Amino acid sequence: MKPKALIFSGYGLNCEEETKVALEIAGALADIVHIEDVVKNPKLLGKYQIAVFPGGFSYGDDTGSGKAYGARVKHHLGTELRKFLERDTLMLGICNGFQILTASGILPGALIANDSARFTCRWVDLEVKGNSPWLTGLTTLSLPIAHGEGKYFDTQENLDALEKAGGIALTYETGEMSLAQGLPGNPNGALRNIAGITTYEGRVFGLMPHPERGAYFDQRPDWTVLRERFEKEGQKTPEFAAGIDIFKNAVKYFS
């Protein structure tokens, strides 16, 4: 039986359709549900094994990225989401969704303004750390980012605890994507190069890069160069890129 995923929407989240496509390609059944419908009927969560907070600009980032939506999640769905996570379920927060998960207290730390004080949109190179069902079998990958408040921040004591617990899931690295653009591997000044973290034994995963925007091979900025390389070597050009593997891992978790 295919696992069912609930994708939150509303108030400026705008990546729900791409996230739904990625989940369905991976083999899940996915529904886009407005947060108000979940607030009115929290028992909806009982129908699902996966919950996703996608990217976007909730509440226009007027009070800071993810803070208003995160407050609504905390005060109106906090108890229900804790019950959801008491089951053997998965939760994902992508970009603004990651900010929502930290603002609601589901994940530790905070995402603050990039060191550049600029919105940054480009591809980054990532190294997989820790042990999460979302990242099974992955060691490195490249994904796009698009954020102005993506610098992961916490006290040194809390960062030490997070690292000791294996909660640092992804770190920014200097690889082909950043070298080709002549840019630093860490795009926002995140402490300890953190691009993503996990809690609940790796079942809750928040990351700033967008795996749903790096699901297809031809979404890569270097896909034409790689296609020519594959053709010269007599290899078939792949249809999908590494981003889809994150969603496939979620489906495999329930198989």
Task: Output the domain CATH number for residue 20.
Answer: 3.40.50.880
Rounded-to-integer distance, Cα 163 and Cα 130, Å: 9
Q: Exactly one of 210, 228, 231, 239 is catalytic; name it.
A: 210
H or E segment and range at residue 249? helix 243-253
Q: Exactly one of 212, 228, 231, 233 is catalytic; name it.
A: 212
Quick one: average pLDDT of 151-179? 97
The residue with tokens 């004591």 is: 157
**197, 162 Cβ separation under 8 angstroms:** yes
pLDDT digits (tens, 9 = 90+) for 130-146: 899 999 999 999 999 99
Please determine, for residue 111, whether its predicted confidence score (pLDDT) is greater than 90.
yes
Rounded-to-integer distance, Cα 9 and Cα 32, Å: 6
CA dihedral 164, 144, 213, 48 (to 10 degrees): 20
> What is the model's pLDDT at position 130?
83
Rounded-to-integer distance, Cα 47 and Cα 28, Å: 13
Confidence of residue 245 (pLDDT cuts 50, 70, 90): very high
> What is the model's pLDDT at position 193?
98
Domain count, the chain: 1
The structure's pTM equals 0.97
The range of the structural domain enclosing residue 34 comes to 4-253
Instruction: Respond yes or no: is residue 212 known to be catalytic.
Output: yes
Q: What percent of the chain has pLDDT over 90?
A: 98
Quick one: average pLDDT of 27-51? 98
Q: Exactly one of 15, 18, 95, 149 is catalytic; name it.
A: 95
